[in-house]
């Protein structure tokens, strides 16, 4: 086995060995960004769930720490979140040897009982800065709902956060086709305040990994609600939806009415994304699992001893566009400075690198010496990604199909930049700014200031070594260390 092969990303987190899926317990504390994650260390396929743990100071270089939560027999530790109970609202603080109070970290996770598939919400406390955890003896703190005498089978992924409007704790939990919202003053006793679901009749997937975060805008505070949903065969998107609205009295009300759902990413490989608690920046920061669940158990990174890696940590901004309020995403940690880089139609690349793209309409191609290539085509109105000839495909039956090879997204126009006709520059092709991060098997595309973002895995036989721009595009490349 080749542990440091060309598929392993250098600046995106992947576990040293074994399996990874969702990011869990994202929290910033004392200069460190903590990333816990769904982990099975004994194989490169999904198995009894642990919470792995890694930390970073810059969101690019990660240090993997010892496993934080282990399964207990048939009880698996499914996804969840972390808070630091600074004010000891839980009453669970302890007194240290020097007599000072140690406020706990509280990890909220789903207790998944493998036999019977029963799920409830639990909490574990840490007194050593999030390294080790002790289960709360009164678990579960939110019991499985029973509907018409039948326990709900998919009830998971608690996201707990402090509500800036009320000072109380809120929890969102995916409850099959809904999200349940809860409120608490002490992190232990929770009251259901409301439930929410979307109105898109054609979408019947089970929800997972919900999140709810506030944004300060020129129209006051707005809330964005996120829900991931596992894709069925005919649904190639990784499917994390978002809704922009209000959150009042424990009830979420969407305000942006759209004919189709809003997705956070137009690539295939961004799922289960959630945001950091106690984020020190003025904007929220999200990390997603950068592998589509549909083929995650088969991706060829298994040859390098791991399966599963994360997206970059992305700063989220709510932007007023001509279509309404939309999210834009910008990767943190990566130095986007292009000073001193010469622009060209062709450039040599090696992973990891940043590829900056400017110009009008055209096509950008990342290629290797085997004739494999990944393309991004830009028109006035749309961006299309094409991985149909990007590399290995036959490790899984859907990966090479059309639905998993081509995706197009409409380009958004910020309202402030639009002319009277609602678009920039009339008939003239609108210039594009696009940054592409190439890091091992992961390619991330950020176009139009991150209003269109794609996360894509490609598995070329040999690494891409050249980027070429055709039409009105030009590139600048910066290496990453
Ligand atoms: C989403 C998910 C979660 C669950 C976890 C189990 O990918 O299915 O709903 O908590 O993975 O590993």
For residue 200, what pLDDT is reported? Answer: 87
Q: Is residue 336 part of a domain?
A: no
Q: Ligand 1: distance of its center to the CA of 229 in Å?
A: 10
For residue 113, what pLDDT is reported? Answer: 95
Report the half-sphere exposure of 130 (CA within 13 A, side-chain side): 27
SS3 39: strand
Q: What is the DSSP letter of 251?
A: E
Instruction: Give me the percent of the chain exceeding a pLDDT of 90.
Output: 88
For residue 170, what pLDDT is reported? Answer: 98
Look at strands 262-263 and 346-348 and give their pairing: unpaired
Q: Do 356 and 446 belong to one domain?
A: yes
Q: Ligand 1: distance of its center to the CA of 48 in Å?
A: 11
Look at strands 18-29 and 306-307 and give their pairing: parallel
Which of 18, 22, 288 most suits a substitution to test ligand 1, by most atoms within 8 Å of the C-beta? 22
CA-46 nearest atom, ligand 1: 12
For range 392-416, the mean pLDDT = 94
Q: Do 310 and 393 belong to one domain?
A: no
- Paired with 172 in beta bridges are 159, 181
The binding-site residues of ligand 1, defined as CB within 6 angstroms of any ligand atom, are 21-22, 38, 49, 78-79, 110, 156-157, 208-209, 272, 293
Domain count for the chain: 2
**Tokens, residue 24:** 């869990």
Q: Is residue 12 part of a domain?
A: no
Q: Is residue 340 part of a domain?
A: no
Measured distance CA(119)–CA(366) in Å, rounded? 44
**Tokens, residue 21:** 């899926």
For range 137-161, the mean pLDDT = 96
For residue 238, what pLDDT is reported? Answer: 62
- Please list the active-site residues: 22
Confidence of residue 233 (pLDDT cuts 50, 70, 90): low
Confidence of residue 4 (pLDDT cuts 50, 70, 90): low
Better-predicted residue by pLDDT, 345 or 419: 345
Asked if residue 1 has pLDDT above 60, the reply is no
For residue 236, what pLDDT is reported? Answer: 66
C-alpha distances in Å from residue 127, one per residue of 93, 109, 186? 8, 17, 17
Asked if residue 234 has pLDDT above 90, the reply is no
Q: Do 399 and 315 belong to one domain?
A: no
Among 1-15, 121-135, 214-228, 340-354, the range scoring the smallest mean pLDDT is 1-15
Geometric angle at alpha carbon 393, from 303 and 387, rounded to 5°: 115
Asked if residue 418 has pLDDT above 80, the reply is no
For range 278-300, the mean pLDDT = 97
Q: Is residue 102 part of a domain?
A: yes
- Of 305, 331, 357, the position where a domain reaches its end is 331
Q: Ligand 1: distance of its center to the CA of 305 in Å?
A: 21
Range of the domain at 416: 346-479
Give tens-digit pLDDT for 280-290: 999 999 999 99
| Contact in structure between 428 and 405 (CB atoms under 8 Å) | no
Q: Do 298 and 408 belong to one domain?
A: no
For residue 428, what pLDDT is reported? Answer: 45
Give tens-digit pLDDT for 436-452: 999 999 999 999 999 99
Among 4-8, 93-97, 104-108, 285-289, the range scoring the smallest mean pLDDT is 4-8
Which of 155, 208, 210 most suits a substitution to test ligand 1, by most atoms within 8 Å of the C-beta? 208
Q: Do 248 and 373 belong to one domain?
A: no
Least Cα distance to 434 among 364, 358, 375 occurs for 358
Q: Which residue, by CA, sits nearest to atom 9 of ligand 1?
A: 208
CATH number of the domain within which 313 lies? 2.115.10.20
Q: Do 98 and 156 belong to one domain?
A: yes
Query: DSSP string covering 142-165, please?
Result: BPPPEETTEE-S-EEEEEEEE-TT
Look at the alpha carbons of 411, 243, 387, 286 in this order and tell me if their dihedral is positive or negative. Answer: positive
Q: Is residue 11 part of a domain?
A: no
For the chain, the average pLDDT equals 94
CB-count exposure of residue 350 (10 Å: 0-12, 13-18, 19+): middle
CA-49 nearest atom, ligand 1: 12
Q: Do 126 and 177 belong to one domain?
A: yes
- Of 331, 359, 391, the position where a domain reaches its end is 331
Q: Which residue, by CA, sits nearest to atom 8 of ligand 1?
A: 208
Measured distance CA(316)–CA(199) in Å, rounded? 25
Consecutive H or E run containing 91: none
Q: Is residue 5 part of a domain?
A: no
Q: Do 327 and 355 belong to one domain?
A: no
> What is the maximum span of the chain, computed from C-alpha positions, in angstroms?
71
Q: Ligand 1: distance of its center to the CA of 24 in Å?
A: 10
| Contact in structure between 48 and 114 (CB atoms under 8 Å) | yes
Better-predicted residue by pLDDT, 77 or 415: 77
Q: Ligand 1: distance of its center to the CA of 209 in Å?
A: 7
Measured distance CA(129)–CA(283) in Å, rounded? 24
CATH number of the domain within which 397 lies? 2.60.120.560
Give tens-digit pLDDT for 201-218: 888 889 999 999 999 999
Q: What is the DSSP letter of 302?
A: G
Q: Is residue 7 part of a domain?
A: no
Q: Do 407 and 306 belong to one domain?
A: no
Confidence of residue 2 (pLDDT cuts 50, 70, 90): low
Q: Is residue 464 part of a domain?
A: yes
For residue 419, what pLDDT is reported? Answer: 60
Return the percent helix, strand and coil in the chain, to nearest 5: 5, 50, 45
Instruction: Give me the percent of the chain exceeding a pLDDT of 70.
Output: 96
């Amino acid at each position: 086995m080749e542990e440091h092969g060309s598929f392993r990303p250098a600046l995106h987190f992947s576990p040293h060995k074994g399996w990874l899926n969702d990011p869990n317990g994202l929290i910033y504390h004392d200069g460190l960004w903590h990333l816990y994650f769904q982990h099975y260390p004994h194989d490169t396929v999904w198995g009894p769930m642990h919470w792995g743990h890694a930390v970073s100071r810059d969101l690019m270089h990660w240090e993997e720490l010892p496993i934080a939560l282990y399964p207990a027999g048939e009880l698996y530790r499914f996804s969840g979140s972390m808070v630091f109970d600074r004010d000891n609202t839980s009453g669970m603080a302890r007194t240290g040897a020097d007599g000072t109070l140690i406020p706990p970290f509280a990890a909220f996770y789903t207790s998944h009982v493998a036999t019977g598939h029963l799920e409830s919400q639990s909490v574990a406390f840490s007194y050593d800065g999030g390294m080790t955890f002790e289960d709360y003896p009164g678990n579960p703190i939110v019991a499985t709902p029973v509907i018409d005498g039948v326990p709900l089978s998919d009830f998971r992924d608690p996201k707990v956060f402090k509500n800036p409007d009320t000072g109380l704790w809120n929890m969102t939990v995916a409850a099959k086709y809904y999200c349940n919202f809860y409120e608490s003053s002490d992190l232990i006793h929770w009251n259901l305040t409301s439930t929410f679901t979307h109105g898109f009749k054609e979408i019947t997937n089970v929800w997972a990994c919900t999140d709810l975060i506030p944004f300060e805008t020129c129209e006051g505070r707005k809330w964005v609600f996120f829900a991931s949903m596992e894709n069925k065969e005919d649904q190639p998107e990784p499917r994390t939806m978002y809704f922009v609205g209000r959150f009042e009295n424990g009830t979420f009300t969407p305000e942006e009415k759209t004919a189709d759902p809003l997705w956070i990413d137009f690539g295939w490989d961004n799922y289960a994304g959630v945001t950091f608690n106690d984020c020190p920046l003025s904007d929220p920061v999200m990390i997603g699992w950068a592998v589509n669940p549909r083929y995650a158990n088969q991706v060829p990174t298994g040859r390098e001893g791991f399966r599963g890696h994360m997206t970059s940590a992305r700063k989220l901004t709510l932007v007023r566009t001509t279509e309404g309020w939309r999210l834009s995403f910008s990767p943190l940690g990566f130095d986007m400075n292009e000073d001193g880089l010469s622009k060209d139609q062709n450039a040599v690349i090696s992973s990891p690198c940043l590829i900056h793209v400017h110009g009008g309409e055209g096509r950008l191609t990342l290629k290797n010496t085997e004739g494999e290539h990944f393309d991004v085509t830009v028109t006035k109105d749309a961006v299309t990604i094409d991985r149909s000839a990007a590399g290995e495909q036959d490790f899984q039956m859907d990966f090479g199909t059309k639905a998993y090879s081509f995706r197009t997204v409409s380009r958004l126009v910020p309202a402030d930049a639009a002319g009277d006709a609602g678009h920039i520059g009339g008939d003239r092709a609108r210039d594009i700014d696009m940054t592409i991060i190439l890091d091992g098997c992961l390619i991330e595309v950020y176009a139009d200031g991150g209003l269109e973002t794609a996360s894509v895995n490609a598995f070329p036989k040999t690494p891409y070594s050249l980027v070429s721009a055709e039409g009105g595009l030009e590139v600048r490349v910066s290496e990453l260390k």
